Amino acid sequence: MSSAPLKIAVLGAGTVGSQVVRLLQEQGADLSARVGAELKIIGVAVKDPARSRHGINPNLLTTDSKSLVKNCDILIEVMGGIEPAKSLILEAMQNGASVVTANKALLARHGSELLVAADKAGVDLYFEASVAGAIPLLRPIRESLAGDTVNRVMGIVNGTTNFILSKMETDGADYQDVLAEAQSLGYAESDPTADVEGHDAAAKAAILATLAFHTPVTIDDVYCEGITKVTKADMDAAESMGFVIKLLAVAERQAQDSIVVRVHPTMVPKSHPLANVRGVFNAVFVEAESAGELMFFGRGAGGAPTASAVLGDVVAAARNRVAGGVGPRDTSYAALKCLDISNAHTRYYIHIKVADKPGVLAKIATTFAENKVSIQVLHQDGHGDDATLVIRTHKATDAALAKTLDGLKKLDVVDSVIGVMRVEGEQGE
């Protein structure tokens, strides 16, 4: 062992924190060999140190985060929330410590600020665990693709909603019933808002977009639509067209100098690799100019998988310490414009209940044409009061689609618009 021990402080001992501490203890010898120095836990900050925590030496437990932050070489922040996490991280960096965090909420709001602070302090800030759990995704984007131009990042980054949508698909069940089942299985929280409304996925989309496009993106820049309005009728329509419904996070270059970042339920053809990512798995597609299509697949959550990502970052930060430097910097030099959803350019599925009259198709087709939305596939089902049209369009802007929908609703031949959803992943896009 060539170097002095590195002092590691841990903030939080929940699902992830307790696994991180366990692995640091169990794999101590291996980690030290890989780093070239001992990794020594100096303390684990918790709210209630009296509570016994399986596998953590009680002597390490403390409420005194402040002194941990002052005395460590590497801070592992797995407490979550914006404050006091943010202040403690900033203080640690000012004291010269490198920081590893899994805190997506914090990064999605203050990521660029924290990266700048790390740069100023000459320390590392790593956060692989904040997006897609164990899947190595941020390091490949930050480093492996650093010589390429990313055009699009598109993925399933929330396990709870993917579990619910997969179940709705296979069991033909309603959203509310599957949500209740997911809650009883522990896959959904008792207050599921952050997952089912897409906020969790939106935070991850902001982090991914920041790194992929070298541009500061916060959660406020992300269009966000959850899965609570996905109906059995949508599922049936998707099935009959050979599609599945996934909650996708999409960050894409819209033009040379702008991007759009969005989270919404999406119809994806069954032949697309993302369609086969079921249950609590996560997967992210990256499309780069030279590299072409890449996919990263794995477990997106859970104590041990997330802890694996945290420890990978800890080893990286520790190796940099031993080498006497810091890892590569990320800058938001490109500063692309982050446009709102009306600029997004996608295909759409539209399901309309129509009157069974002559001339229906002509009127509807005219409305699409007037708004410059081109129809790709049209399918007419039923007769009389049950007549419906299922339409998939070519790519159009969200703004053009909104106008088309307004126009459709005003037509006397249209009874109601039963379903509208974006479509991604078709060949030839």
Residue 257 interacts with a second copy (CB under 8 A): yes or no: no
Encoded amino acid at 116, one letter: V
Length of the chain equals 429
Whole-number minimum distance, CB 326 to a second copy, in Å?
Answer: 6
Structure token pair of residue 143: 């480093």
Reported as type and span, the H/E element at residue 7 is strand 6-11
Strand partners, 75: 9, 99
Residue 319 interacts with a second copy (CB under 8 A): yes or no: yes
Give the whole-angstrom CA distance, residue 188 versus residue 193: 9
Residue 117 interacts with a second copy (CB under 8 A): yes or no: no
Residues 232/172, Cβ–Cβ less than 8 Å: yes
Helix (H, G, I), strand (E, B) or coil at 58: helix
Give the whole-angstrom CA distance, residue 35 versus residue 315: 6
Residue 297 interacts with a second copy (CB under 8 A): yes or no: yes
Whole-number minimum distance, CB 150 to a second copy, in Å?
Answer: 10
Residue 116 interacts with a second copy (CB under 8 A): yes or no: no
Choose the catalytic residue: 7, 86, 167, 204: 204
Give the whole-angstrom CA distance, residue 415 versus residue 411: 8
Binding mask 260-279 for a second copy (x = CB under 8 A): -------------x--x---
Closest to a second copy by CB, 278 vs 353, is 278
Whole-number minimum distance, CB 204 to a second copy, in Å?
Answer: 17
Give the whole-angstrom CA distance, residue 233 versus residue 175: 11
Residue 144 interacts with a second copy (CB under 8 A): yes or no: yes
Helix (H, G, I), strand (E, B) or coil at 139: helix
Task: Specify the DSSP class assigned to residue 128.
Answer: G
Give the whole-angstrom CA distance, residue 75 versus residue 92: 7
Whole-number minimum distance, CB 249 to a second copy, in Å?
Answer: 18
Residue 255 interacts with a second copy (CB under 8 A): yes or no: no
Is 70 marked active-site? no
Structure token pair of residue 57: 């030496």
CA-nearest of 226, 208, 228, 249 to 344 is 249
Gyration radius from the chain CA atoms? 24
Whole-number minimum distance, CB 270 to a second copy, in Å?
Answer: 12
Residue 324 interacts with a second copy (CB under 8 A): yes or no: yes
Closest to a second copy by CB, 175 vs 281, is 281
Question: Can you tell me which of 173, 326, 399, 411 binds a second copy, judged by CB under 8 A?
Answer: 326
SS3 content of the chain, % helix, strand, coil (to 5): 40, 25, 30
Q: Tell me how far CA of residue 70 lies from CA of 9, 42, 408, in angstroms.
A: 10, 11, 63
Residue listed under structure tokens 């982050």? 338
CA-nearest of 355, 347, 350, 429 to 394 is 347
Give burial (CB, 10 Å; 0-12/13-18/19+) of 81.
Answer: exposed
How many residues touch a second copy (CB under 8 A)? 61
Closest to a second copy by CB, 305 vs 419, is 305
Binding span for a second copy by CB under 8 A among 53-61, 138-146, 169-177, 220-228? 138-146
- Whether residue 305 is preceded by a cis peptide bond, meaning omega within 30 degrees of 0, is no
Question: Can you tell me which of 82, 180, 255, 334 binds a second copy, judged by CB under 8 A?
Answer: 334
Closest to a second copy by CB, 172 vs 273, is 273
Whole-number minimum distance, CB 425 to a second copy, in Å?
Answer: 14
Residue 294 interacts with a second copy (CB under 8 A): yes or no: yes
Helix (H, G, I), strand (E, B) or coil at 69: helix
Whole-number minimum distance, CB 365 to a second copy, in Å?
Answer: 38
Whole-number minimum distance, CB 307 to a second copy, in Å?
Answer: 6
Question: Can you tell me which of 8, 11, 134, 413 binds a second copy, judged by CB under 8 A?
Answer: 134
Closest to a second copy by CB, 131 vs 352, is 131
Question: Can you tell me which of 225, 234, 252, 313 binds a second copy, judged by CB under 8 A?
Answer: 313
Q: Residues interacting with a second copy, by CB under 8 A? A: 19, 23, 27, 30-31, 33-34, 36, 128, 134-136, 139-140, 143-149, 214, 273, 276, 288-299, 302, 304-305, 307-316, 319-320, 323-329, 331, 333-334
Residues belonging to the active site: 204
